Amino acid sequence: MVHSEADARPQGRPMIDRMAGDAGQKVLLFLTALVFFATLSLFSANLRDLAPEGEPGSVVPNDFSAFWAAGRLGLAEPLAVLDEARLSAVQNWGPDAKDPYFPFAYPPGWLVAVIPFGALPFAIAWPLFVLVGLAAFGAALWPSLPGMVAERRALMLAALSPPLLFFVLLAGQTTLIWLALLLVAATALLSQKALLAGAVVGLLAIKPQLCPMVAAAFLGYALSHVQARMAVPAAALSVLGVCLLPVLHTGWAYWPAWLGAAGTMAEQIALAANAWDTMLSWYPALRVAGLGHEAALSAQAAVSLSLAAGVAWLWWLKDVTASLRLAGLLLAIPLAAPSAWYYEGIAFALAAVFLAAARYDSTMGRRLHVILVWALPGYLVPLGTVLALPLVTAPMASLLFIGVLREAALRRSTA
């Protein structure tokens, strides 16, 4: 990708200059080591306490357990992964678990993807899945970062050290893989590799609830960049392939069964007050604040439409740096999804990294705002019963998104 970040540097000494210095890199390296040491410690403790394979307690009660159990069932009985009794029997958490199971509410493409992990013992599959996600994330992130080697190294460390990453790695969620695909697609699009961008972006359909803002970005960019317009039909074909090819294994019946399961889960989330505390967007924030389902959903829809318009405009502009575009998109993705969970908050932290790369933080207020978006969600996750996460993340990330749009307008006017 060709970067021109230096062409639009605001006044003041930005964080990236401090981050890229020897002292800044040492601090970031320490923070990264802290996150990974804590993660390894918890991994070791969980794996050490597992019961023998096949016995109650032989699976850690986390999000990955749903993928692993689905992979075990999905090879021979794809529809069984949507059956609560069948899936919980495979997860086999043991009698002391607080919840019966984690559901698998993913389209057929992701079911096919996790089948190889289901063939492995859980104690091997879980860390392997996390390592695959980390490797994919790192490999996709490095080419998308601007600047000299020292700056890119500092930004990379910043992306690998937000406190929230600890919880994401322990959960074993798809977040890092999904963000890796997004970065590859966006980097290809901004490098005028339209067909590659479209082909990769279709893979994001494994989490369709996070895709609307990506579609807005691609459409906005294609409208003002003729050379990128082939990305749109390429993306449509890619999505079609991701939706249809896995059906060769799962059968057509999986789609209506999955849609029914996803609808049931959405209804359960709307009523589950204990779940709202660990979400990110305006819908759970408004529910926690006492608003009813219909009113909160209408407000979320209005916010999502506004975010889509903002993202499309940001990517439509011709004189905006890649980092500023990516920051705006990453902020909008969790904000636009009514049921975005805490682990999607890594997108906020990554947005803060790209804002540092874009030299957005030219004032103390901006600098503090960026740091809080990067750090605060990770500290709030364990405090969900004291302070609901969306009451902080929804307004905080929304204000930063507005700041990104304002910054894009100001840089455009002075370009």
Reported as a single tens digit per residue, the pLDDT across 57-104 is 888 888 999 999 999 999 999 999 998 888 888 888 766 666 667 889
Give the chain's residues under pLDDT 70. Answer: 1-13, 94-100, 270-271, 273, 384-385, 414-415
Query: Which of 89, 8, 28 minimizes the C-alpha distance to 318?
Result: 8
Q: What is the pLDDT of residue 98?
A: 64
CA dist., res. 346 & res. 133, Å (int): 13
CA atoms within 13 A on the CB side of 342: 30
pLDDT score, position 7: 41
Element spanning 325, H or E = helix 322-336
Q: Kindly give the interhelix angle for 63-74 and 108-118, rounded to the nearest 10 degrees.
A: 90
Report the predicted TM-score, pTM, of the whole model to 2 decimal places: 0.93
Please, what's the largest Cα pairwise distance for the chain? 66
Per-residue confidence (pLDDT) for residue 262, from 0 to 100: 81
**pLDDT (0 to 100) of residue 266:** 76
pLDDT at site 95? 67
| Vertex 403: Cα angle to 192 and 16 (nearest 5) | 70
What is the b/e burial string over 387-403, where b = at least 16 CB atoms within 10 angstroms of the residue's CB? ebbbbbbbebbbebbeb
At what angle are helices 322-336 and 175-190 packed, to 10 degrees? 140
* Spatial distance between the Cα atoms of 287 and 304, rounded to a whole number of angstroms: 16
Structure tokens at 164: 């929230």
pLDDT attached to residue 268: 73
Q: Which residue has the tokens 């889509």?
A: 308
* Sequence-ordered list of residues with C-beta below 8 angstroms from that of 327, at least 6 positions apart, any chain: 351, 352, 354, 355, 358, 360, 404
Q: In the numeric block, which tokens belong to residue 197? A: 């961008």
Q: Tokens 């605060």 belong to which residue?
A: 376
Rounded to whole angstroms, the Cα distance separating 238 from 210 reads 16
Quick check: 119 and 258 in contact, CB under 8 A? no
What is the predicted pLDDT for the residue at 385?
64
Residue 367 sits at φ, ψ, to 5 deg, of -60, -45
Q: Which two tokens stand for residue 118?
A: 């289901």
